[in-house]
Amino acid sequence: MSNSRPRQRMKPCCMELEGGIRNRGLRMTLPRQLVAQVLESADGYLSAEDIYSIIREEYPAIGLATVYRTLVLLDEMGIVNRYNFGEGRARYIAAEDQTAEHHHQLICERCYKVIKYSDFSEDERELYKKVESVLSEKHGFEIKRHIVQFHGICPDCRKESQNESSNSDV
């Protein structure tokens, strides 16, 4: 019998999210720490069930209800962001201001993989600066930050659907 290893090891630390929890005057509890760790090392939007199943591998005493309550609290505190993609359950990601670098996101509507990028081209930087200044003029609104998400189909899912359509041709 081979050793069964957790499929996703949790990072030993998650400085940004843990800092966010403490900065907001919240006590650091084990469930908060674990949920923060899972979300910080995730490369996609996770549902409460996804988070629970990762935590359960090492901490079976923590129940799904605790994960739900923790997520509600972290969402209220702005430490995580909650999204609804219309699949009947929420998905969560570490809030943008908890991560070090400003980035934009490409989100796959099929597998919910999120590609974060921060290697902006000069054109992109100029464009967003311009959009911000036009908007702030038009609405008399002082813009402090922005979140940019593009929704679509990732390369893997595109490949899959191409395979499917070529199979159905046969």
Structure tokens at 28: 């650091």
Binding residue for Zn ion (CB under 5 A) from 111, 127, 134, 143? 111
Cα distances from 156 to residues 8, 118, 119, in angstroms, run 20, 21, 22
110 binds Zn ion (CB under 5 A): yes
Is residue 32 within 8 Å of residue 4, measured between CB atoms? no
Beta partners for residue 90, in sequence order:
84
Give the residue with the Cβ less far from Zn ion, 26 or 106. Answer: 106
Could you tell me the smallest distance in angstroms from the CB atom of residue 137 to Zn ion? 19
Give the residue with the Cβ less far from Zn ion, 8 or 105. Answer: 105
Give the residue with the Cβ less far from Zn ion, 12 or 86. Answer: 86
Q: Is 103 annotated as ligand-binding?
A: no
Could you tell me the smallest distance in angstroms from the CB atom of residue 29 to Zn ion? 33
Indicate the SS3 state at residue 60. coil
Binding residue for Zn ion (CB under 5 A) from 41, 44, 157, 160? 157
Structure tokens at 46: 């996770």
Structure tokens at 139: 């609405």
Structure tokens at 107: 């989100």
106 binds Zn ion (CB under 5 A): no
Single-letter amino acid code for the residue at 47: S
H helix or E strand, kind and range, residue 70: helix 64-76
Which residues form the interface with Zn ion (CB under 5 A)? 108, 110-111, 113, 154, 157
The annotated binding site is made up of 102, 108, 111, 146, 154, 157
The annotated binding site for Zn(2+) is made up of 108, 111, 154, 157
